[in-house]
Chains A and B, each alone.
Chain A
């Protein structure tokens, strides 16, 4: 067991797959000798060389078009979009081309590719470099979407994403890059579509994702001290979505809170709340409550950004209030 940072786990996860399979290639801006702007891919260029680890121009459509064309002809590319906000300049390739072409061609083609990207806030970058866009990807039929919350899951979900025969949008919470966690030695391969229960409680269930996971866990500790014992579910994979785990854990406690980094409207928690309302309504002891970023562009100043993103304090007070009303 080694302790790795989330960013070191990115390189470890990619390297694990590139060593195993020569059809895995990696491309993106500054990913080669520079090792990525977030230093998430340090060492890959040195180990795998410039043919398999390729720097690209600032051309997001070209990057994802290259990944798509390579995938349809038998390779398993991993493409980096540096900031998830930049999906907006290449969304046609993601939403119209990669996601739909298998269906439109009646299954003639497959797209075994991974698009990894730094997602979300916490680094004071302002509204165009801090968005949490998992719901953009989630709502397009044909895309799988995963968001790891810790170094071990980075490695395991990266392996699952690379080995999957469908396109996977792999969103890394930027603010988690320096965080550390235990990562077992040897090969780690997770399954897509599996949520994990990180904490078991009896009074309420919190479903959360990515950067919000450590905050939800910290909030659960505080709430426990005050007598509210929470289950914390790390959703991990939005598509496929492990609704059975969420439904089971919600039914067990009778209350569900979602903690989401994305802006309020049509965040992934809305879909989860809708599923729970339809399928676990009679197990609920109170309304499902969503804790989200307000429906605003994310501000840059540290004080404002901290007010906008769900904090440990906001999670605690929201759950406390709801449970005592």
Chain B
């Protein structure tokens, strides 16, 4: 398969932007973690620390009117599409200035105006839904592509297989991105999965190419996503990408991740494997000066600080929101 235009991935400005995006995702998530510890964030939350290159790399390959379908681990995928940090922090904190006014919470981040068509907290559910959006684009002839992110645990649930078959038979413009972080919740995926590559080894069952990419290399992710998205846009059907990565922390707020061998954690969190450190080193190697990188990082830190304070300043959602928007008429009436 050939791409129609030269890839911008060798352009330093493009790379700097991809670096900025990854730093933003990393620092947002670090701050979100701190906010849990300070009890500003209630309920649960699932962080993408260690997996930023995938959300950032794929988003860079998407058109503004393309659609993202994310999971409950969806802060990064939401932010990577250009959603501001303040409403996302505020949503995590249950504030009225949240992305959904506090009605969805961490696991359901949605911003239709940015093409973020929801974050779904039931494993596998959003794969068939993404197919529906892709079907809609196909029917209406809009050239839009649906990109759906999910974890390695998803490959063993029925909805995954229904969606893959459906996308293949209808040649839908959908790109399936499996973030293989080696663990499905608290259990090593290899212990509960019949094949070595949880997504890629299933591709052949649906007439698709097995695609495996280093999910901790934003450039590689970008290139693979770009090809898959172009293919989908050209009417050539779906792709299934398995991006190999690692979750630096546990599954969720409640999980310290102690079931993982120390040496494994050390390997994946090392400067050589960590996507953000690795990308920084690549930029240095390409001649980007330290001051430029430091400025990017300082800008992100300032953005995170300002967004944190703006989110904290938000009011608690009021009673006016409670009975709002069950129905399209804005209300919740079920009887006369």
What are 8 A-B contacts with C-beta separation under 8 Å?
A68-B128, A68-B132, A69-B131, A105-B103, A105-B108, A108-B110, A142-B327, A239-B334
Question: Do the beta carbons of A73 and B137 come within 8 Å of each other?
Answer: yes
**Residue A207 at the chain B interface, CB threshold 8 Å:** no
Q: What 0/1 pattern do residues 91 to 113 of A give for CB contact below 8 A with B?
A: 01100110001111111111010
Question: Do the beta carbons of B129 and A103 come within 8 Å of each other?
Answer: no
For residues 111 through 167 of chain B, which have their beta carbon under 8 Å from a beta carbon of chain A?
A: 111-112, 117-118, 120, 122, 124-137, 139-140, 146, 158-159, 162-163, 165-166
**Residue A287 at the chain B interface, CB threshold 8 Å:** no
Partner of B140, one of A74, A106, A241, A244: A74
Determine which residue in A66, A75, A77 has the highest number of CB atoms from chain B within 10 A of its CB, and name it: A66
Q: Which 10 A-B pairs have the closest CB atoms?
A: A69-B132, A65-B128, A165-B328, A107-B325, A69-B133, A66-B132, A59-B162, A62-B162, A106-B100, A62-B166
**Residue A137 at the chain B interface, CB threshold 8 Å:** no
The interface size bin for chain B is 35 or more
Question: Do the beta carbons of B324 and A70 come within 8 Å of each other?
Answer: no
For B135, the chain A residues whose CB sits under 8 A away are: 66, 69-70
Complex CA–CA separation, A66 to B137 (angstroms): 12
**Residue A193 at the chain B interface, CB threshold 8 Å:** yes
Within the complex, the shortest CB–CB distance from B335 to chain A, in Å, comes to 4
For A105, the chain B residues whose CB sits under 8 A away are: 100, 103-104, 108, 110, 112, 118
Question: Do the beta carbons of B108 and A69 come within 8 Å of each other?
Answer: no
Question: Do the beta carbons of B140 and A65 come within 8 Å of each other?
Answer: no
For B140, the chain A residues whose CB sits under 8 A away are: 74-75
Within the complex, the shortest CB–CB distance from A92 to chain B, in Å, comes to 5
Within the complex, the shortest CB–CB distance from B204 to chain A, in Å, comes to 18
Question: Do the beta carbons of A61 and B128 come within 8 Å of each other?
Answer: yes
Complex CA–CA separation, A92 to B123 (angstroms): 10
For residues 290 through 327 of chain B, which have their beta carbon under 8 Å from a beta carbon of chain A?
A: 321, 324-327
**Residue B234 at the chain A interface, CB threshold 8 Å:** no
Determine which residue in B67, B135, B158 has the highest number of CB atoms from chain A within 10 A of its CB, and name it: B135
Question: Do the beta carbons of B336 and A244 come within 8 Å of each other?
Answer: yes
**Residue B169 at the chain A interface, CB threshold 8 Å:** yes
Known pairs A61-B159, A92-B122; A102 contacts B325 (CB<8 A): yes
Complex CA–CA separation, A112 to B335 (angstroms): 19
Known pairs A59-B162, A240-B334, A243-B336; A104 contacts B133 (CB<8 A): no
Question: Do the beta carbons of A75 and B139 come within 8 Å of each other?
Answer: yes
Complex CA–CA separation, A51 to B140 (angstroms): 11
**Residue B333 at the chain A interface, CB threshold 8 Å:** yes
For B129, the chain A residues whose CB sits under 8 A away are: 65-66, 68-69, 72, 93, 97
Complex CA–CA separation, A104 to B140 (angstroms): 27
Complex CA–CA separation, A59 to B127 (angstroms): 13
For A14, the chain B residues whose CB sits under 8 A away are: none
Interface residues of A (CB under 8 A from B): 25, 51, 54, 56-57, 59, 61-62, 64-75, 77, 92-93, 96-97, 101-110, 112, 141-142, 164-166, 193, 239-244, 275
Question: Do the beta carbons of A72 and B133 come within 8 Å of each other?
Answer: yes
Question: Do the beta carbons of A106 and B103 come within 8 Å of each other?
Answer: yes
For A244, the chain B residues whose CB sits under 8 A away are: 336
For A97, the chain B residues whose CB sits under 8 A away are: 120, 122, 125-126, 129
Within the complex, the shortest CB–CB distance from A81 to chain B, in Å, comes to 14
For B137, the chain A residues whose CB sits under 8 A away are: 73
Q: Considering only CB atoms, which chain A residue lies closest to B108 in the complex?
A: A104
Question: Do the beta carbons of A241 and B125 come within 8 Å of each other?
Answer: no
For A92, the chain B residues whose CB sits under 8 A away are: 122, 125, 159
Known pairs A69-B132, A72-B117, A240-B334; A103 contacts B325 (CB<8 A): yes
Complex CA–CA separation, A135 to B134 (angstroms): 32
Complex CA–CA separation, A93 to B333 (angstroms): 22
Complex CA–CA separation, A275 to B335 (angstroms): 10
Question: Do the beta carbons of A103 and B165 come within 8 Å of each other?
Answer: no
Q: Considering only CB atoms, which chain B residue lies closest to A113 in the complex?
A: B132
For residues 54 through 92 of chain B, which have their beta carbon under 8 Å from a beta carbon of chain A?
A: 67
**Residue B287 at the chain A interface, CB threshold 8 Å:** no
Q: Considering only CB atoms, which chain A residue lies closest to B169 in the complex?
A: A57
Question: Do the beta carbons of B118 and A109 come within 8 Å of each other?
Answer: yes
Within the complex, the shortest CB–CB distance from B120 to chain A, in Å, comes to 7
Partner of A64, one of B128, B169, B328: B128
Complex CA–CA separation, A110 to B108 (angstroms): 16
**Residue B261 at the chain A interface, CB threshold 8 Å:** no
Known pairs A93-B128, A109-B118; A193 contacts B336 (CB<8 A): yes
Question: Do the beta carbons of B326 and A61 come within 8 Å of each other?
Answer: no
For B325, the chain A residues whose CB sits under 8 A away are: 102-103, 106-107
Q: What 0/1 pattern do residues 203 to 218 of B give for CB contact below 8 A with A?
A: 0000000000000000
